[in-house]
Amino acid sequence: FPIGMGYDFKGIYNLWEKNINLFSGDSRKDIEETIEISDLSSPELDTLIGNKAADTLREEIELVEGIYPKFNKEDYLNGNQQPVFFGSALNNFGVRELLDCFVEIAPKPRPKQSEERLVKPDEKKFTGFVFKIHANMDPNHRNRLAFIKIVSGEFKRNTPYLHVRHNKNVKFSSPNAFFAEKKEIVDVSYPGDIVGLQDTGTFKIGDTLTEGEVINYKGVPSFSPEHFRYINNADPMKSKQLYKGIDQLMDEGVAQLFTLDLNGRKVIGTVGALQYEVIQYRLEHEYGAKCTYENLNVHKACWVQTEDEKSEEYKEFLRVKQRFLARDKQNQLVYLADSMFSLQMTQQKYPSITFHMTSEFD
């Protein structure tokens, strides 16, 4: 809990460990040794931080302990409670305490369900899946990294592993581990670790690596966006760069791309409106391409599923709703409903067709 605010900020009181970390020096970037304070009513507290700050801290801690429940690790692991940390990443203050606590309370690697079976972290054979892709982490080299989470076994450098979707072996000479801005090559990684792998377009989110067993982990599903806009090329001479940039940014999961069946126009769907500015900025500064947007009146994007694609009902749906149909990056059919009323009426009119709000469904 912070002791003071702004210019009067003196340090942090750790409610969990009952100790105080204080700033030292005028730079406010140096930290004195941790001081144990088992009793806030102790006169030692007044000596350390002054009478006024000590009285304020006692009142605030009394209020916090009276309102909020005590930390319970089981509740935290079950997702019912969340610890709060105070500090300054800029001044590197309170960061160590956060990391130390996280090491102590973080959950152990857990089993993960694949389409074939439940995979446990204590299994000897390696399995892992790609959950994130990031392009241009180093703009000077135009590199692209796929981040893989180790589910079981050990991931070893320069060892061939099966890329399940492509059904071919791949190996990696420089797998990376990241901590803030630091990056280092790792030789061995264990369940729960996150490893960055150099990617030339081989991976997509949800891909699985194993020692030979065919396992398919369920990827991160795409949820229906909240905002939709047409994306237009503002510089016809940079069409190649634009489409390459859009393709890579969509692989990252920055937004979702839909291509209209009717005329092939590209539609970008996002969760928040600010993402459009991020996409526009990255396209210009990382790929040298410029774009503009047009608003599109869409309420929800629904992934379409039918048991019989040859049925008359499904054919009628495709004909009547043609101008509202699009394809996502996986070529799945998507219905872009322009209103809640329109979606409800469509569901009633075509009962044999299921409209899903996520891209993954059984």
Parallel, antiparallel, or unpaired for β 19-24 and 30-31?
Answer: antiparallel
168: domain CATH number is 2.40.30.10
Spell out, as residue ranges, where the chain has pLDDT lower than 50: 27-29
Residue 215 lies in a domain: no
Q: What is the pLDDT of residue 345?
A: 94
Task: Among 210, 235, 254, give the residue marking a domain's end.
Answer: 210
Residue 73 lies in a domain: yes
352: domain CATH number is 3.30.70.3280
Asked if residue 98 and residue 119 are part of one domain, the reply reads: no
Task: Among 105, 126, 151, give the residue marking a domain's end.
Answer: 105
- The answer to whether 260 touches 326, Cβ cutoff 8 Å, is yes
Q: Which residue has the tokens 């144990």?
A: 36
Q: What is the pLDDT of residue 57?
A: 85
Asked if residue 238 and residue 166 are part of one domain, the reply reads: no
Number of folded domains in the chain? 3
- Cα 230 to Cα 4, 56, 158, 224, distances in angstroms: 49, 54, 44, 16
Residue 53 lies in a domain: yes
170-180 per-residue burial string, b: 16 or more CB within 10 A, e: under 16: eebeebbeeee
Asked if residue 351 and residue 287 are part of one domain, the reply reads: yes
Q: What is the pLDDT of residue 36?
A: 67
Asked if residue 349 and residue 253 are part of one domain, the reply reads: yes
Q: What is the pLDDT of residue 206?
A: 86
- The answer to whether 9 touches 23, Cβ cutoff 8 Å, is yes
Ramachandran bin of 198, using left for φ above 0, alpha for ψ from -120 to 50, beta for the remaining angles: beta
Asked if residue 271 and residue 198 are part of one domain, the reply reads: no
By residue range, what is the domain housing residue 340? 227-356
197-230 pLDDT, tens digit each: 988 888 888 899 999 999 988 766 677 889 999 9
pTM of the model: 0.69
Residue 219 lies in a domain: no
CA 115 to chain CA mean position, Å: 22
Task: Among 146, 176, 210, give the residue marking a domain's end.
Answer: 210
Asked if residue 29 and residue 65 are part of one domain, the reply reads: yes
List 329's β-bridge partners, or say none. Answer: none
54: domain CATH number is 3.40.50.300
Work out the angle between the directed axes of helices 274-287 and 239-252 (0-180°, nearest 10).
Answer: 130
Asked if residue 36 and residue 86 are part of one domain, the reply reads: yes
Distance CA 340, CA 345 (A): 9
Q: What is the pLDDT of residue 296?
A: 92
Asked if residue 194 and residue 268 are part of one domain, the reply reads: no
Q: What is the pLDDT of residue 149?
A: 93
Token pair listed for 133: 């892709």
* DSSP code string of 25-66: STTS-EEPPPEE-S-TTSHHHHHHH-HHHHHHHHHHHHHHHH
Asked if residue 96 and residue 36 are part of one domain, the reply reads: yes
